[in-house]
Structure 1
Amino acid sequence: MAELFVPKIIGELGDVAVKQFGAKVNLVMGVEEEVANISSKLATIEKVLHDAERRRLKDRSVGIWLEKLEDITYEMDDVLDEWNFKIHGAKNKGTNQNARMQPTLWNKVRSFIPSLCSCLKQVPVRSNVAQKIKKINEQLELTLEEADQFKFITSGVIPDSHDFQRIMTTSSIDESEVYGRAADMEKVLDQILSKSSSQGRDGVQVISVVGAGGSGKTTLAQLLFNNDEVQNHFELRNWICVSDPFDQKRVAKAILENAGKSSHDAELDPLIRRIKETFSGKRFLLVLDDVWTEDDSKWKPFQYALKDGAPRSVILVTTRSHRVATVVGSTDTHGLGMISHSDCWLIMQKIAFARKSGDLCKKVERIGQKIAEKCKGLPLAAKTMGSLLRFKDTVQQWQNVLDSEIWQLEEAAMDLFPHLYLSYNELSPELKRCFSYYAVFPKDHEISVEELIRLWIAQGYVRPRRRGERLELVGREYFNNLAMRSFFQEIQNVEYYYEFREYEQCKMHDIVHDFAQFLTKNECHALGGIGRNSSSERPRHLTILEGTEEMFSSRVVDFGRLRSYLTFSEIGRVVPQNLFCRLKCVRTLTFSDCELAEIPAEIGRLIHLRHLDLSVNPFVTLPEAVCDLYYLETLDITLCRELSCLPERIEGLVHLRHLFNHGTSELRQIPQGLEKLTSLCTLTRFITRSNFDDLSILKDLNQLEILRVVIEGEVDFGNAELEKKINMREMDLCFRLGAHFIETPSCIETMEPPP
C-alpha cells in the first residue's frame, strides 16, 4: 500500500500548495517548511519501499514497520483531501460574495459582520490542518529512524533474488498420480501431432498452455513429453525449465546441453548460431516450461534459431500469462481449466490416507470430499490439503480443517501461497493493490468489470500516467493485465435486462481469493458469515455479510478509520445508528437494497466519499446535503422507484462522473444544474418533454460515454449538440407519448449523432 501511496502523496503535496496560491487563499499558513520536510522524508522512504515490500511476508517486524507507514500515508491522504476541499470552499465563497456585493454603505456595513465571523471560523480550520501536518511530520521522523535497523537496500541496487524460489522442473513424472487431465491431454496431443493444428503440417508450431499457478501446466507438459506417440514422432526432444528471470544465455546453454552439445561460449550470439545448426532440418519438440518474460526482444533470437526446424516441429510453452502466449507467437493456445471435485478428492485421498487405518478413512471420507470441494478444481490445492491431512489422525481434526478458510491454515498457506506470490510479485504497486482489494467481496461474488474499476478509482488505486488521461481506460488496462495473468476467471458478457445492455462480468477463484484475503488480513474485516470474521483489529475495509444492531454496537470496528463500507445479501440490511456521523474517512459506501426510507442529511459530512451506491431503496428524496460531497464520482440510485426528484444544488457535485438513475420511474425532471457537471461520463436516465428546452442541459456534457434519454413528444436535438460527444459509445433514445412508446417521430431528423 505504501509503495502505491507514497509517490502519489509526494505529487499531490506540491499540487495542493500551488492550488492554494492560485486560488489566492491562505487556509493553511506557516506550514511551507513542514510540507517540504514531509516531501523530503517521503522521497527518502520511497527509495527503500521495494525492498521493504519484498521482505514483508517473511519478516514480521518489517511488516509492522510498513503498517505504521501505511497509517501515516492514509492520514496524509485524508489531510490533502481536507485541504483541497477547504480551498475549493474558500474560493467559491469568495466568488459568491463578490457577486453579491452592492456598492451601498449599508451593504458594506451589513457584510462586515458575517465576514468577520467567517474569518474567526477559519482560524480553527487553519490550525486543524496545520496541526495534522505537523503531527505527520513528527511521525515520519520516527518512521525514518526505525527504518535504519532494517538496513533496507535502495531501489535500483536490489540483487536479483526472490523471496520464494521457483522450483526447477524436469520432464520426469509418475503418471499414476495424475487425475482429471485426460481431455486436455487428448486435445493438446492432437495439436502436437499435427492432427488438429491451425498450422497443419507446415512450419514450426508454437503451442502455449496457459493457466493459473498450481493448475497443472507443468504436469500436462510432462505427460505429453513422455507420451509414446510423441517420442516416436520427434527426432529430437528437449525440456527446458525457463522460469524467471529469462536469462538468454542460460536458456541457450541448457537447450544445447540437453541436445547433447557442449556450450562453452560466453556470448549469446555464438550460442544462438549453434542452436540453429543443431535444430535445422530436424523434427523437434522443445518444451519451454514456466515462461514469464513478456519482452519479445528476448524471445526473437530463439525464434530465429529454431525457425529452420523440419515441418511439424513443435515448441510447447507453459505460462501463466496470455500476453506471453502472444509474445512467443503461438499458433495454438490451450487454456487449462480446473479439474472436477471428484478428481481433487482422488488426489487428496491418495496423499492423506497413506499409512492410515481403514476405519479412520471411512469415518472422514465425507468430510474429505467436502474439503476437496474447497480446492475448487486446483490440483496444487488438492495436493497441499492432502499433505496437511496426512498428519490429522482424528475426525475432529479433519472437521477443523473443513471449518477453516485455507488462508487461515498456516501449514497449507506456506505451501500453496508461494506459488501465487510469484505471480503477485511480478505486478506493479497499482496492480497489486487492485488485485488484493478483491478480498472485500465474498467468495464466488460476480461483479461487473466496469463497477470493479470504479471501486478501484474511488480508493485512489488507479493512477494516470499523464495529465488528462481517462481513469476508466487506465483501470481497464489494469484489469486486462490481471486477467491475462489468470487472477480472474469466468469473464463473460451478461445481459442486464432492465437497461437492455450487456455487462462484462468476472469472479475470482476461491484459492486466489484466499490469497487476497491473506495479503489483506490486517486491512479487511467481515461481519457475519461462517469463517469470515477476519482477525484485523484496525480494518480499513468493512464487509457486511449479515448484521445485527448488537454486532455494530460492539467495539470490533473503528468506523472512523474505514475507507470502504460494503453490504452484501438481504440479511446484511441493518444500518447502524449514527453511522454517517462515524464514517470520517470513507471513500466507498454501498447500501444497495437496505430498505432505506430516508437518507439522513449527515451524509453531507462524508467529504472523502467517492462512490455512493443507494440503489434499490424506497426513499422519496435525496437531501440537498448530498451535493456537499465534493469528491463524489459515482452516484448509483438505480431502481429507487419512489424517488421523485434530484437535489436542486446538483451542480455542487463537480467531480461526478457516473450517475446511474435508470429505473427511477417517479423521477420526472432533471435539475438545470446538471448542465454544469462537465465531467459526467454516464447518465442512464435523462427525461425531456416537448415544448421545453431540456436537451440544452446536455449541450456541454461532452465527456458522456453512456446516455439514455426518455423523450416525451417532439424535441429539437440541435440543442443537445450530440455531434460534439466524441466519447459516446452507447446512446439509447426512447420516444414516449403518455404511457406508450411511439414510432420514431420526425424530430429524429434534426439529430446529428455522435461520431
Structure 2
Amino acid sequence: MAEALVSTLLQQITTIICAGALEEVRLLKGVKEDLRKLKFNLTSIKALLEDAEQKQIPDKTVQLWLDRLQEESLDMEDALDEWRTVLFYRLTDGAENASFLQRKVCLFLRCFSFRRVYRYHGVARNIKEINERLDEIANDRVRYQLTDTPSRLLRRKESTSFIDESNIVGRDEVKKEIIGHLLCGTSKEGESYQTISIVGLGGIGKTTLAQLIYNDEEVKQHFTIRIWAYVSDISDQSKVAKTIIAELEGLDKVATLQMESLPLNSLLERICKSIEGKKYLLVLDDVWTENDGDFGGLNVTFKRGATGSRILVTTRKDTVSRVMGSSHTFHLKTLSQDLCWSILKKTALRERDQKTCEDLTPVGLRIAEKCEGLPLVAKTLGGHLQFQTTRKEWEDVLNSELWRMDVVHKDVFVPLLLSYYDLPSPVKQCFKYCASFRKDAAYFTSHLIANWKAQGYLGFNDGDDSLRELKGVEYLKCLEARSFLQIKDSDPFCGQFASCKLHDLVREFALYLTKGEFQKVEVSKGDKSMKMNSERTCRHLEVILESGFCFPESISDTEKLRTFQIFPCMGGVINDGDLCKLLNKARRLRALAIEYSDSTIPEEIGNLLHLRFLSLCSNLHLKRLPDEMGNLINLMVLDTASCFSLTCYPKGVRRLTRLTQLSGLIVRVDHDDPKEFSIGDLANLKQLVVLSMKMVGSTINVEESKKVKLQNLQEVKILVNEAIAKDEDTILESLNMSSVPRCCFDTDFQFFGRFSTPRNEYQYCGF
C-alpha cells in the first residue's frame, strides 16, 4: 500500500508545482523548492518499496520501516489535499467560494498533521519538517539493505507429481469430470491438443487435485507420456522448456544444468522429438503469466503430439485460463464443513484416546467452520492443534482471529501474499480496503467504487469522473480474476447494481495486511469511553450501538480517522453533543456514514474539508440539514435516501460542484428560493451521474428548470406530487433529461426509500 500512497503523493506534488498561477497563491508562496525536494525524496523511496514489501515477512524491522513510511505518507496526503483544495478553488472558482475559503482557511490549517499552524508562513516550515523525517526514512535503506531490485524472497515451494492419496478427501466429482474431458478423444478442429484449466484461490487445493488426476490409473493407461512441470511466476520460455525436457528425459540436476547454454530453438526441437506423434498429458502447475506471447513457441511445439493430447493448467487467475485458450475451465469450490473436519482431525486427534477425542470433537467441529472450506487452512490448523492438549487450548484457537495466529501467517497467508504481490500497486490498496467487509456480507460494487474514490485510490476528484469509474471497474475485474473477490452481475436485492462478496479467509488476510487500521466496535452497557487497540493507528472505524445504549462520551485516537460509520441498533442513541465533539476532532474524514439514527446533523460537519462520501440514509427523524453542508466542497457522494422527515435541502449544496452521486435530494421547483435548494441550482452540479430527487411545489418554474444541463447524467429517479405529475415528458424535457439512459418517474412516496430489504439480509458498503 505504501507504494501506491507514494505514487499518489508524487502526483499531488506535481499538480501543485505545475499549477500555472502558483506564485499568485499566497498560501503556497515560498514552498515551491521544498515541494521539489519532497518529490525527490519520495521518488527515491518509491524505488525501494517493492523490495521492502518482499522483505517485511522474514524481517519485522523492515515491516516497521514500511509502517512508519505509511503513517508519514497518509499525514502528508492530508496536508497536500488541503493545499490542492485551496489552490483549486482560488484559481478556478468565483467570488462565492473565494469568500468561503477566506473564512475557512485558518480552520483548515488547524488540521495540518504535523503542527498547528495559524499563519501562511508556517507552511514552509512544515514542509521542511516533513523532508527531515523523509530523509531519516530514506537513509535507513542502508540499514535494511533495501535496493531498487526486488529480492523475491517469498516463493511458493516447488510442487511435484507425487501425492499420498490416503490423506485426501473430497474432490471426487470434479476429479471424475475433469478426467472425462482428458480421456475424450476429440480436440478442437485443426488442433492436436486441448487445454483444461483449474482456477481457484491459493490454498483451495488446485495442485492436489491435479496430482490426483495425474496419478489416476485410467489416466496413466490412456496417455503415452505424462509430464509434470512446475511453472509458478516464470514467464521465460527457456526455463519452462528445460523443466519439460528434464521430465521427459528423466534428467538429474547435473544434466539439467548442462542445458543452461542451449538456445530456445534447440530446446524446443528436443521437446518436439520426444513428443512427436505421441499422446501426452502435460500438467503446468501454478501458471501466473497473462501474456499470450510468453508461451508462443511452446504452443507450436505442443502441436507435434498426437491428437487427443491434453494440457492441464492450474492457476489463480481466470485470465490465464483465457490466455491459454482453455476449452474447459473449472473454478474450484470450497469444501464442506464435514470434509474440513475430516482433514483437520486426521492430524489433530492423532494418537489420542477415545475419551479425549469425544471431549474435543464439539470444539473441533466449530473450528472446522473457521476453515471456510479451504483444505490448506484445515491442514494447518490440524497440525497446530496436534500440540494443544486441553479443551481450553482448543477453545482459544476457536476464539482467535485467524489473522493474529502466527501459524496461519506462515502456512496459509504465504500463498495469498504471492497473489497480493502480483497485483498492480494501485489495486493493492483497493484490496486492503476490503478489510472493512463484514463476514458473509454482500456489497454493492457501485458503493465500493465510490468509497475507493473517496479515499483517493482512483485518482484525484477533479477532472473526468467517468475515467475513475472505469478504473474502479477495471480494479474489480482484476481482483475477481485473482479470486480475491466474488462478483455477481445482478442480484434480486439491488436491481441493476452488481454485488460482490469476499471469502472469509481473504477478509482475514486483508485484516492481516492492515493490522488494525480497520476496526469494528460494539458499544454496550457501561461503555463511557472507547479505546481502539491496534498495532497501527486506526484509520477506518465502524461503531454499532447496542439497543438501549448511548454513544460513548469519548473515543480515543480519532484525529486520523479516514472513515467513520455508525449504526445504532433499535433503541441505540447518539448524543448530539458527543457527535459534535467527534466531528470537531476527526477532521480528516473522507467517508462518513450515520445511518438508522435519531440524531440531528450538527453544523460542525462543515469542518470536514476532506469528506468525499456522506451517507445519512434511513435517518427517519432527520428534519433538516445544516447550512454548513455547503462547505463540503470535495464531496462526491451524498445520500439522504429514506430520510422521510427531511423537508428541504440547504441552498449551500449548490456549491458542491464535485458531486457525482446524489440520492434523496429535495428540490424547490416553483421558484428560486434564497434559502432552499431550488431547481435552477442543479445547473451547478454538472458532474452528477446518478440522481434521485423529490420535487417540492405546486408547479414547475420553466425558466429556472431550463438552466439545468446535466450532460453526464446516466440515471435519474424523480418523485413528484400529483400536482406536477400531469405531464412527465414536459418535465423531463424542461430539465434536459429526456435522453438520460435510465429514468424513473413516480408519485409513490415509498419509492423514495433505498430498498425494502432488511439490513441483516443484504448489506451495502458504507465504508
Q: Please list, as runs of the form range in 1=range in 2, the aligned pairs for 1:237-636 lying within 5 A after superposition.
A: 237-260=226-249, 264=259, 266-463=262-459, 468=464, 470-489=467-486, 491-496=488-493, 501-528=495-522, 535-536=534-535, 538-546=537-545, 552-553=552-553, 557-567=556-566, 570=569, 575=574, 576-577=578-579, 578-596=581-599, 598-618=600-620, 619-636=622-639
Per-residue deviation, 1:537 = 5.5
Matched residues in 2 for 1:319 and 1:740: separation?
46
Contact 1:79 1:129 in 2 (8 A): no
Matched residues in 1 for 2:314 and 2:572: separation?
46
Contact 1:201 1:312 in 2 (8 A): no
Matched residues in 2 for 1:320 and 1:649: separation?
50
**585-594 or 337-346, which moves further after superposition?**
585-594
Contact 1:344 1:378 in 2 (8 A): yes
Once the two structures are aligned, what percentage of the paired residues are identical? Answer: 33
Q: Secondary structure at 2:687's aligned position in 1? A: coil
> Aligned Cα RMSD in Å?
3.5
**651-660 or 161-170, which moves further after superposition?**
161-170
RCO higher in 1 or 2 (8 Å CA, sep ≥ 6)?
Answer: 2
Q: Secondary structure at 2:497's aligned position in 1? A: strand
Per-residue deviation, 1:563 = 0.7
Q: Deviations over 1:330-351 (max 9, x none)?
A: 1100110001000000000001
Per-residue deviation, 1:212 = 0.5
**373-382 or 665-674, which moves further after superposition?**
665-674
- The answer to whether the aligner puts 1:702 opposite 2:711 as a matched pair is yes
Q: Secondary structure at 1:52's aligned position in 2? A: helix
Q: Deviations over 1:200-255 (max 9, x none)?
A: 99741110000100001111111111112111211211111111223321211221
Q: Which amino acid aligns with 1:162?
A: R
Q: What residue number does 1:69 align with?
A: 69
Q: Which amino acid aligns with 1:508?
A: L
Match 2:177 to one of 179, 187, 200: 187
**168-177 or 360-369, which moves further after superposition?**
168-177
Match 2:689 to one of 670, 681, 691: 681
Q: What residue number does 2:745 align with?
A: 734
Q: Secondary structure at 1:316's aligned position in 2? A: strand
Matched residues in 2 for 1:507 and 1:572: separation?
29
Q: Secondary structure at 1:282's aligned position in 2? A: coil
Q: Which amino acid aligns with 1:289?
A: D
Contact 2:688 2:712 in 1 (8 A): yes
Q: Which amino acid aligns with 2:484?
A: F
Q: Secondary structure at 2:362's aligned position in 1? A: helix
Q: What residue number does 1:747 align with?
A: none
Q: What residue number does 1:173 align with?
A: 163
Match 1:208 to one of 187, 192, 197: 197
For the structure 1 residues 737 and 506, does the alpha-carbon distance in structure 2 shift closer, same or farther, using more than 3 Å as the test? closer
- The answer to whether the aligner puts 1:124 opposite 2:141 as a matched pair is no
Per-residue deviation, 1:373 = 0.6
Q: Which amino acid aligns with 1:72?
A: E
For the structure 1 residues 94 and 543, does the alpha-carbon distance in structure 2 shift closer, same or farther, using more than 3 Å as the test? closer
Per-residue deviation, 1:513 = 0.9
Structure 2: segments with no counterpart, 5+ residues: 110-116, 525-530, 671-676, 753-767
Q: Secondary structure at 1:453's aligned position in 2? A: helix
Q: Deviations over 1:457-494 (max 9, x none)?
A: 11111248997461011011011001110001363521
Per-residue deviation, 1:25 = 3.0
- The answer to whether the aligner puts 1:220 opposite 2:228 as a matched pair is no
Q: What residue number does 1:713 align with?
A: 726
Matched residues in 1 for 2:98 and 2:190: separation?
81
Q: Deviations over 1:640-687 (max 9, x none)?
A: 11221122122211211111228x799998542121111111112364
Contact 1:201 1:311 in 2 (8 A): no
Per-residue deviation, 1:393 = 0.3
Per-residue deviation, 1:71 = 1.9
Q: Please list, as runs of the form range in 1=range in 2, the aligned pairs for 1:137-156 lying within 5 A after superposition.
A: 137-154=131-148
Per-residue deviation, 1:540 = 1.4
Q: Secondary structure at 1:472's aligned position in 2? A: helix
Q: What residue number does 2:757 align with?
A: none
Matched residues in 2 for 1:2 and 1:97: separation?
34
Matched residues in 1 for 2:104 and 2:170: separation?
76
Contact 2:141 2:147 in 1 (8 A): no
Matched residues in 2 for 1:740 and 1:486: separation?
36
- The answer to whether the aligner puts 1:82 opposite 2:90 as a matched pair is no
Contact 1:580 1:603 in 2 (8 A): yes
Contact 1:287 1:315 in 2 (8 A): yes
Q: What residue number does 1:26 align with?
A: 26
Matched residues in 1 for 2:300 and 2:355: separation?
61
Q: How many residues align?
A: 711
Q: Secondary structure at 1:561's aligned position in 2? A: coil
For the structure 1 residues 456 and 119, does the alpha-carbon distance in structure 2 shift closer, same or farther, using more than 3 Å as the test? closer
Q: Secondary structure at 1:259's aligned position in 2? A: helix
Per-residue deviation, 1:621 = 1.5
Q: Which amino acid aligns with 2:627?
A: E
Using the size of structure 2 for normalisation, the TM-score is 0.85
Q: What residue number does 2:56 align with?
A: 56
For the structure 1 residues 57 and 147, does the alpha-carbon distance in structure 2 shift closer, same or farther, using more than 3 Å as the test? same
Matched residues in 2 for 1:414 and 1:478: separation?
28
Q: Which amino acid aligns with 1:493?
A: S
Contact 2:669 2:679 in 1 (8 A): no
Per-residue deviation, 1:163 = 2.7
Per-residue deviation, 1:116 = 13
For the structure 1 residues 514 and 533, does the alpha-carbon distance in structure 2 shift closer, same or farther, using more than 3 Å as the test? farther
For the structure 1 residues 120 and 554, does the alpha-carbon distance in structure 2 shift closer, same or farther, using more than 3 Å as the test? closer
Q: Secondary structure at 2:293's aligned position in 1? A: helix
**705-714 or 67-76, which moves further after superposition?**
705-714
For the structure 1 residues 613 and 282, does the alpha-carbon distance in structure 2 shift closer, same or farther, using more than 3 Å as the test? same
For the structure 1 residues 686 and 313, does the alpha-carbon distance in structure 2 shift closer, same or farther, using more than 3 Å as the test? farther
For the structure 1 residues 127 and 7, does the alpha-carbon distance in structure 2 shift closer, same or farther, using more than 3 Å as the test? same
For the structure 1 residues 667 and 205, does the alpha-carbon distance in structure 2 shift closer, same or farther, using more than 3 Å as the test? farther
Using the size of structure 1 for normalisation, the TM-score is 0.86
Per-residue deviation, 1:613 = 1.0
Q: What residue number does 1:749 align with?
A: none
Per-residue deviation, 1:439 = 1.1
Matched residues in 1 for 2:167 and 2:359: separation?
24
Q: Please list, as runs of the form range in 1=range in 2, the aligned pairs for 1:640-679 lying within 5 A after superposition.
A: 640-661=643-664, 670-679=678-687
For the structure 1 residues 693 and 399, does the alpha-carbon distance in structure 2 shift closer, same or farther, using more than 3 Å as the test? same
Q: Which amino acid aligns with 1:482?
A: L
Matched residues in 2 for 1:227 and 1:120: separation?
72
Q: Which amino acid aligns with 2:140?
A: E
Q: Deviations over 1:716-747 (max 9, x none)?
A: 64444457x6xx5x412326599999xxxxxx
Q: Please list, as runs of the form range in 1=range in 2, the aligned pairs for 1:31-46 lying within 5 A after superposition.
A: 31-46=31-46
Matched residues in 2 for 1:287 and 1:117: separation?
65
